[in-house]
Structure 1
C-alpha cells in the first residue's frame, strides 16, 4: 500500500504535488455562496484571493494535462506514468470546478 503512494508521489513530482496541495487549499477556502467580500484582514484570503486564484489554478491544471499528453506521445515507454498524471490533473480540475460552482453561480446572479 505504501509503495503505491510512494510511486504516485514520485510520478507526480514536487511541482505537481504543490499544485494538488493548492487545489486542496482552495477547496478548504471556499466561502459560502453569497458571502460579501472582506477588504481587510484574514477574511480577504477566502473572499478575494481564493476566488481570484481558482481560474488560474484551473487553467494550470488543464495545461498540465495537455503537457502530460505531449510527454505521453514523446515517451511511450512511460505510458502508465503520464496517464496517471493526466488523470490526476483532470480529476483535480473537475473537483475544483464542482466545488466552486455554487459560489461562482451565486456571484453571477
Structure 2
C-alpha cells in the first residue's frame, strides 16, 4: 500500500484555504453556485484527506516516541483530557497502526533503537 502524500504545516488550514480560493475563483469567473453533485464530489475527497492526516499523525506520534516523549504529553497534544491523555493517546496510536499495517517506524541516524 502506498503511503499518502503528507500535507505541510497546518493541513486543515491548507484544505480550507483551498476551498476559499476555489470559491473566490468561481465568483471571478462567474461560474454557477455548486450543485448537489459538486458537493458530493467534494465530500468523496474527504476520505483521502482524512487518510493523509491520519498517516501524518501516525508518523508524528512514532517520531515523538522515538525521541523519548511519553504517552501523556502525546495524548495532551492530540487534544485528550489530562486524566486520560496517556491511555487515549496510546489507543489512538494503536488504531492508526491497524489502519496502516505496512507502516514502519521512522529511523534516526545514530539511534540505538
Confirm or deny a common fold (TM above 0.5): no
TM-score normalised according to structure 2 size: 0.36
Structure showing greater radius of gyration is: 2
> RCO (CA 8 Å, sep 6+): is it higher in 1 or 2?
1
